[in-house]
């Protein structure tokens, strides 16, 4: 499992941003599309809001990959 570190002083990152920043999605448009299709999960539950705030300890799953927010 990969870990995505929040920057110092950040409490959260939005789901669409983390997919793009980690390369799980090639663009913001692709991130929006896969999230709306219901194929991205956060902490084991399908998430369809690209603006969902992710905090330390949250786990994002998409396309056979898992990512923990650190």
The domain ranges of the chain are 9-65
Query: Given pLDDT bands bounded at 50, 70 and 90, which one contains residue 9?
Result: very high
Q: Indicate if the alpha-carbon torsion angle 40, 61, 42, 14 is positive or negative.
A: negative
Tell me the fold of 9-65.
3.10.290
pLDDT score of 64: 92
pLDDT score of 49: 96
CA-based Rg of the chain, rounded to a whole angstrom? 11
Query: Given pLDDT bands bounded at 50, 70 and 90, which one contains residue 13?
Result: very high
**25-56 confidence digits (pLDDT tens):** 999 999 999 999 999 999 999 999 999 999 99
The pair of three-digit structure tokens given for residue 33, joined into one six-digit string: 């599309």
pLDDT score of 25: 94
């Amino acid at each position: 499992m990969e870990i995505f570190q929040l920057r110092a002083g950040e409490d959260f990152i939005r789901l669409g941003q983390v997919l793009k920043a980690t390369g799980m999605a090639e663009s913001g448009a692709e991130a929006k599309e896969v999230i709306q299709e219901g194929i991205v999960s956060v902490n084991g539950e399908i998430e369809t809001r690209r603006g969902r705030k992710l905090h330390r300890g949250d786990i994002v799953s998409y396309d056979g990959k898992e990512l923990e927010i650190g």
